[in-house]
């Protein structure tokens, strides 16, 4: 913790990976690494964020992100409140801004927000004194997902510098892809993207990635393969003939994996569509670190909550 306290962390919000420096990413990953041990204790709780109030406001479904934010808050002894949009006054027509201002009036310290509209967390961060954490905004960014992905790879490989990451699938509609491209590039990795031409955004090369349209070519010599779900909820129109066709050309099978390095890591942010973008035997196989990603999600979210609420500034120990 000394290193973090000395270097300091001065951001109020975590809105994306795009604007984070390498040093800031390292501070978060180092802090997360130091928090991992708490989740292995018999009593998985420390008093670090006692008295802080954290509200989770999710306008889109979530299993991993919302649950791990709640667990992270509780492990740090914060008061965590989950708001289900379907049973809130949003259904009576209350605007997002009014909802957020009402929550602020109850003296919340952190608002964790997931919303289908890109830029929503940025707008709230400007008007709320509370810290705002982006838990996914449309197809723009999902910063804590990229942080937990980077932590998972760094744990296995020691560094991200010089590693080759291949991201496969619906790049155009994926906030996970975007955040990981920013993060892994900032940390010195080489990033490739693979998918049908309809799912590769125009101009993606400007983000510093190499583009492939053939799965086997794209995963050759990759150190890490990250498979993505097709973002059906964001698709309008036909982007490929059928799921069967998609699985045939872009699904990661044991056969396709023969092209990859023998020590390749297989990742997926979840939820998976088994048999579409990833074969069950690959998802559950020896190269898979998919459940490690989920475990690391708790530590990364503990780190982000701790840093944003001033733990590092005031040198709070855990
Ligand atoms: N990876 C991820 O964001 O999963 P959830 O949608 O379940 O939170």
- Compute, in angstroms, the gap from residue 144 CA to the centroid of ligand 1: 10
Name the one residue in this structure whose structure tokens are 């291949």: 166
Task: Tell me the per-residue pLDDT of 176-206, one tens digit each, with 9 for 90 and over.
Answer: 999 999 999 999 999 999 999 999 999 999 9
Distance between CA 52 and CA 272 in Å, rounded? 34
User: Whose Cα sits closest to atom 3 in ligand 1?
Assistant: 65
Please check whether residue 50 is in contact with residue 77, taking contact to mean a CB–CB distance below 8 angstroms: yes
Q: What's the pLDDT score for residue 1?
A: 42
User: Whose Cα sits closest to atom 1 in ligand 1?
Assistant: 269
- pLDDT band (50, 70, 90) for residue 237: low
Distance between CA 48 and CA 78 in Å, rounded? 8
What tokens appear for 71 in the block? 């667990």
Identify the residue with better confidence: 243 or 301. 301
Distance between CA 83 and CA 64 in Å, rounded? 16
Q: What's the pLDDT score for residue 312?
A: 53
- Compute, in angstroms, the gap from residue 66 CA to the centroid of ligand 1: 8
Name the one residue in this structure whose structure tokens are 């490929």: 240
Q: What's the pLDDT score for residue 2?
A: 40
> Which atom of ligand 1 approaches the CA of 114 most closely?
8
Q: Is the pLDDT of residue 92 over 70?
A: yes
How far CA 271 is from CA of 62, 136, 283, in Å, comes to 9, 14, 12
Q: Return the closest-CA partner of residue 299 out of 133, 111, 134, 73.
A: 73
Distance between CA 244 and CA 131 in Å, rounded? 44
In order, the DSSP letters of 197-228 are GGGS-TTGGGGTEEEESSHHHHHTT-SEEEE-
Q: Is the pLDDT of residue 6 over 50?
A: no
Mutation pick for ligand 1 pocket among 271, 290, 292, 296 (CB with most ligand atoms within 8 Å):
271
Query: Which distant-in-sequence residues (6+ apart) come within 8 Å of 95 by Cβ?
Result: none
User: Whose Cα sits closest to atom 4 in ligand 1?
Assistant: 64
Q: Is 197 exposed, middle or buried (0-12, 13-18, 19+ CB in 10 A)?
A: exposed
> Which atom of ligand 1 approaches the CA of 63 most closely?
7
Task: Tell me the per-residue pLDDT of 29-69, one tens digit each, with 9 for 90 and over.
Answer: 999 999 999 999 999 999 999 999 999 999 999 999 999 99
What tokens appear for 32 in the block? 């997360």
Q: What's the pLDDT score for residue 76?
A: 97
Tell me, using a 6 A CB cutoff, whether residue 120 lines ligand 1.
Answer: no
Q: What's the pLDDT score for residue 310?
A: 81
């Amino acid at each position: 913790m000394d290193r973090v306290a000395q270097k300091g962390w001065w951001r109020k919000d975590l809105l994306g990976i795009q604007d984070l420096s390498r040093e800031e990413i390292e501070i978060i990953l180092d802090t997360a690494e130091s928090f991992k041990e708490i989740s292995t204790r018999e009593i998985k709780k420390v008093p670090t964020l006692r008295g802080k109030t954290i509200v989770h406001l999710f306008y889109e479904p979530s299993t991993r992100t919302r649950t791990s934010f709640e667990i992270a808050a509780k492990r740090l002894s914060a008061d965590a409140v989950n708001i289900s949009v379907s049973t809130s006054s949003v259904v009576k027509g209350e605007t997002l801004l009014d909802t957020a201002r009402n929550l602020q009036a109850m003296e919340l310290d952190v608002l964790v927000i997931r919303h289908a509209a890109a830029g929503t967390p940025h707008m709230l961060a400007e008007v709320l004194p509370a810290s705002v954490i982006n838990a996914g905004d449309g197809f723009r960014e999902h910063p804590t997902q990229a942080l937990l992905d980077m932590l998972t790879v760094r744990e296995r490989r020691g560094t991200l510098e010089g590693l080759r990451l291949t991201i496969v699938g619906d790049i155009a509609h994926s906030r996970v892809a975007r955040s990981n491209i920013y993060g892994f590039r900032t940390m010195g990795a080489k990033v490739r993207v693979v998918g049908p031409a309809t799912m590769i955004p125009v101009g993606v090369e400007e983000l510093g990635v190499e583009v492939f349209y053939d799965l086997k070519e794209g995963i050759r010599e990759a150190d890490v393969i990250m498979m993505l779900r097709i973002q059906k909820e964001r698709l309008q129109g036909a982007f490929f003939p059928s799921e069967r066709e998609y699985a045939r050309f872009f699904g990661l099978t044991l056969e396709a994996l023969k092209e990859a390095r023998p020590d390749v890591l297989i990742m997926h942010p979840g939820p998976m569509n088994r048999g579409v973008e990833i074969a069950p035997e690959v998802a559950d196989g020896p190269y898979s670190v998919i459940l490690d990603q989920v475990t690391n999600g708790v530590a990364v979210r503990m780190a982000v909550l701790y840093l944003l609420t001033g733990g590092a500034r005031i040198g709070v120990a855990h």
